[in-house]
Amino acid sequence: MEALPRETIVDVLEDRLRTDILDGLHPAGSYLPPERRLADGYGVTRTTLKHAFGRLAQAGLLETRHGVGTRVRDYARLGGADLLPMLVRHDSGWVREVFEVRRGVGALIAERAAERGTRPQRAELGALLAALPRAEGADAVQLADVEVHRALARATGNRVYVLLTNTLFNAYLPVRSLLQGPFTDPEAAHRRLAPVVEAVTAGDARRAREAADTYLRDTERIMLEGLA
């Protein structure tokens, strides 16, 4: 089982605000109504509204100035990758673009991991890969797959690749139930991924890059078949 979190008012409100913004109800650059009025409109306290504002501001969607107001940032132009989860949830058209980037970055990571992975890191990769076909259910297989990629990112020795990998995963893990195609058959998933780990373990950078590219292309194709 898995403990699923309750949905607080702030959560709901944040979602609603985000939707309203991304739908264009409050266009980029425009000011939101004053907090008092907006809180009244949504039937919540100003305090609660401010909590939701705080999150959206942290995410880069809003920008508040004391004495002036709160306005919608031009997120498409200036926003960071941490907006992806909400953008993907709001419009699945982003998924394809996320995957393309994932492919490019994944290839870089495999290359670096092959060049610089330490012995224990390679051993961990092997263990995680071996655990994959033992997972039960497509969801578990997918998560086991994710763990292998996290380990690959760690093996680059560059912590930023780890964070970047997490960001890209965060972007589509919330909608992962729609993308389980590649993971319904644990054996097949294992076969696709194995060459990447093999090349990295062997320390062959060029082959690792190519294997990662192939793996990501295949996985992406199978995932998107499920969407179409």
Partner DNA sequence: GTGGCTGAGTGGATGAGCCACTGAACCAGT
Partner DNA sequence: ACTGGTTCAGTGGCTCATCCACTCAGCCAC
For position 46 contacting DNA by CB under 7 A, the verdict is: yes
For position 120 contacting a second copy by CB under 8 A, the verdict is: no
Q: Measured from the CB atom, is 9 or 175 closer to DNA?
A: 9
For position 49 contacting a second copy by CB under 8 A, the verdict is: no
Closest to 164 in 3D by CA, of 219, 84, 88: 84
Q: Specify the DSSP class assigned to residue 132.
A: G
Q: Which of the stretches 35-43, 58-66, 124-132, 207-215 binds a second copy when contact is defined by CB under 8 A?
A: 58-66
Distance CA 166, CA 152 (A): 12
Could you tell me the smallest distance in angstroms from the CB atom of residue 47 to a second copy? 6
Residue 94: contacted member of DNA, a second copy, none (CB under 5 to 8 Å, by partner type): a second copy
For position 215 contacting a second copy by CB under 8 A, the verdict is: no
Contact 109, 153 (CB under 8 A): yes
- For residue 37, the Cα-to-chain-centroid distance in whole angstroms is 34
Binding mask 142-171 for a second copy (x = CB under 8 A): --------x-------xxxxxxx-xx--xx
Closest to 51 in 3D by CA, of 67, 28, 35, 71: 35
Distance CA 12, CA 16 (A): 6
Tell which one of 19, 23, 36, 127 touches DNA (CB under 7 A). 36
Residues 25-44 that bind a second copy (CB under 8 A): none
For position 20 contacting DNA by CB under 7 A, the verdict is: no
Query: Which neighbouring-strand residues pair with 65?
Result: 69
For position 206 contacting a second copy by CB under 8 A, the verdict is: no
For position 66 contacting DNA by CB under 7 A, the verdict is: yes
Closest to 149 in 3D by CA, of 216, 60, 68: 216
CA dihedral 49, 50, 52, 58 (to 10 degrees): 160
Binding site residues, DNA, CB under 7 A: 6, 8-11, 32, 34-37, 44-48, 50-51, 53, 64-70
